[in-house]
Amino acid sequence: MLTESWLKPNISDNSVVLSNFKAPYRNDREGDKLGGGVMMYVKQNIPSKRRNDLEINTLECLWVEVVVKDCKVLFGLFYRPPDSPFHIWNHINQSIENAVNSGIKSIVVMGDFNENLLLANRNNLKNILLDNGMHQAITEPTFYCENSSSLLDPLTVNDINILAYHEVSENILEANTRFHCPVSGILNLHKPKYTQFKRKVWDFEKGDYNLYCEELRQVDWDSLLDTNLDNAVSIVTQKILDAANKHIPSKLIVVRTKDPPWMTSIIRRQIRRRKRSHKKAKKYNTPESWANFKKIRNECVNMIKLAKTHYFEKQCESLHSQVDFIKNWWKKLRNLAGFPSKSSDYPPILLNDTYLDDNKDKANAFNRYFCDQSSVDDSSANIPDLNLDEILHTLDNIIITQEQVYDQLLLLDVSKATGPDSISPRFLKYAALELSYPLALLFNKSLQLCIYPY
């Protein structure tokens, strides 16, 4: 949720779209007066819709209903300019009252109300929250200026038990005076598991491929393949990996699926350092502590900018080199152009007023829909009787030569090798000549199990 977007209706959503998010919900300030405006982003995989029926025309506010599993949550966002007339408070109260009476159990209200909740004599917003049974969770300042601080950006919920965590984060802008801190919270709702895994990364540039190929030449492949098919596959794989581990440097890294591609452990450490300095600055509130925080914050911002620049320059170089496979080339181009990534996951499906999140339920829904479109009556259809004994054409044997295996190894796509112990086609290519003979034997052995007389 963002307040004071400063957007106008003539600005398209395409200019403010975020990757992996839907087009933002917006309520822009109309007229010639600058400033104002609110907007809200929702992830693509979360069902949501705008609730215009809860909004008041005289307010800069948004109401959006989202669905997580079977739980509906109303998110309200408000911006009240400092020079607003007093009757605006009545409109804010009416809008929140509309949400409370909507029948949705979970309600979250945020925004910039420009009323300092830390002062005992400022009770307009407090009375509205009290009348509507809302709970305000933030207790520390959210707005800082030259000589004072205020709580202008509350986080309110109608049920305090749905709020698992909340905080006032450090300033994300480069302004040294007069800035708002972002306010965030975590709700007690189902959240997809944050996945991370370990992966072995090979440093191919420093590999000794002469020794690598020589070791593979010394392997007695005929004796290793004198077993059943599954054991033969495991033995060949292990021999290749053992030789690679000896002669190609590697290291084990942690892959965090939600991290941006330019994120490094050094940047992650600097971010933690920035957060610690911000907590100290808020705790002691001295010029020295704030100066130290701003210094560390600027170092962190510059480090992130440099990492982003280096990452995109490297991506551009790989596009110019034109040695990558077509699929990867277009993937990099879409990323550089700012287009959202293509996800293999279908978003939740709305079926009979119920959202389907499970992949199996989605597939069954699609199958039922496609079957219902058919108007062919096949209840009395006769299926032809195929007599396999009369088929004359048979295939008794398939031979794969060493040269054919060698040619295929040279065409392997390195981008398809994944997993912590995967065999990278890149170093397979260096040993293709040595591996082509045992792999040809292995393929011929496996095909003997798959030949049928038709």
At 110-125, the pLDDT tens digits run 999 999 999 988 899 9
171 belongs to a structural domain:
yes
Strand 106-112 relative to strand 71-79, pairing: parallel
95 belongs to a structural domain:
yes
Angle formed at CA 395 by CA 390 and CA 399, multiple of 5 degrees: 175
What's the total number of domains in the chain?
Answer: 1
Residue 428's closest CA among 243, 235, 252?
243
398 belongs to a structural domain:
no
Per-residue model confidence (pLDDT) at position 129: 93
Per-residue model confidence (pLDDT) at position 110: 96
Per-residue model confidence (pLDDT) at position 61: 96
**How many Cβ atoms from other residues are within 10 Å of residue 179's Cβ?**
15
175 belongs to a structural domain:
yes
Q: How confident is the model at residue 81 (pLDDT cuts 50, 70, 90)?
A: very high
Between residues 67 and 357, the one the model is more confident about: 67
410 belongs to a structural domain:
no
Q: For the residues 69-96, what does the mean pLDDT come to?
A: 92
Count helices and strands in the chain by DSSP H and E runs: 12, 18
The model's pLDDT over 305-353, given as tens digits with 9 standing for 90+, comes to 999 899 888 888 877 776 556 777 787 777 777 665 555 556 777 788 7
377 belongs to a structural domain:
no
Is residue 414 predicted with pLDDT exceeding 50? no
Torsions phi, psi for 354 (to 5 deg): -130, 135
Query: Which of these ranges, 16-25, 217-226, 320-329, 424-433, has the smallest mean pLDDT?
Result: 424-433
Per-residue model confidence (pLDDT) at position 325: 66
How distant is the alpha carbon of residue 394 from its chain centre?
Answer: 51
Is residue 204 predicted with pLDDT exceeding 70? yes
Could you tell me the CATH number of the domain that includes residue 103? 3.60.10.10
Q: How confident is the model at residue 453 (pLDDT cuts 50, 70, 90)?
A: very low
201 belongs to a structural domain:
no
Alpha-carbon gap, residue 294 to 177, rounded angstroms: 11
Is residue 446 predicted with pLDDT exceeding 90? no
40 belongs to a structural domain:
yes
Is residue 418 predicted with pLDDT exceeding 50? no
Per-residue model confidence (pLDDT) at position 415: 44
Reading the block at residue 421, the tokens are: 């112990």
Q: For the residues 21-31, what does the mean pLDDT come to?
A: 92
* DSSP single-letter state for residue 2: E
Percentage of the residues of the chain whose pLDDT score is greater than 90: 33
The model's pLDDT over 342-390, given as tens digits with 9 standing for 90+, comes to 555 567 777 887 777 778 888 898 888 888 887 777 778 787 776 666 6
Alpha-carbon gap, residue 272 to 276, rounded angstroms: 6
Q: Where are the beta strands (DSSP E) in 169-225?
A: 179-180, 183-187, 196-202
Query: Which of these ranges, 145-154, 228-237, 403-412, has the smallest mean pLDDT?
Result: 403-412
The model's pLDDT over 235-251, given as tens digits with 9 standing for 90+, comes to 888 988 899 899 999 99
Q: For the residues 87-104, what does the mean pLDDT come to?
A: 93
3-state secondary structure (DSSP) of residue 424: coil
Is residue 423 predicted with pLDDT exceeding 80? no
Supply the angle between the helices 402-410 and 432-447 in degrees, to the nearest 10.
120
The model's pLDDT over 273-292, given as tens digits with 9 standing for 90+, comes to 998 998 888 888 888 888 89
Alpha-carbon gap, residue 63 to 96, rounded angstroms: 10
Strand 179-180 relative to strand 143-144, pairing: antiparallel
Domain, as residue range, for 175: 2-187
CA distances from 449 to 225, 231, 312, 408, 454 (A): 15, 15, 49, 22, 14
DSSP H/E element including 338: none
Alpha-carbon gap, residue 391 to 239, rounded angstroms: 43
Alpha-carbon gap, residue 449 to 18, rounded angstroms: 52
Per-residue model confidence (pLDDT) at position 340: 58
DSSP H/E element including 244: helix 229-247
Between residues 252 and 323, the one the model is more confident about: 252
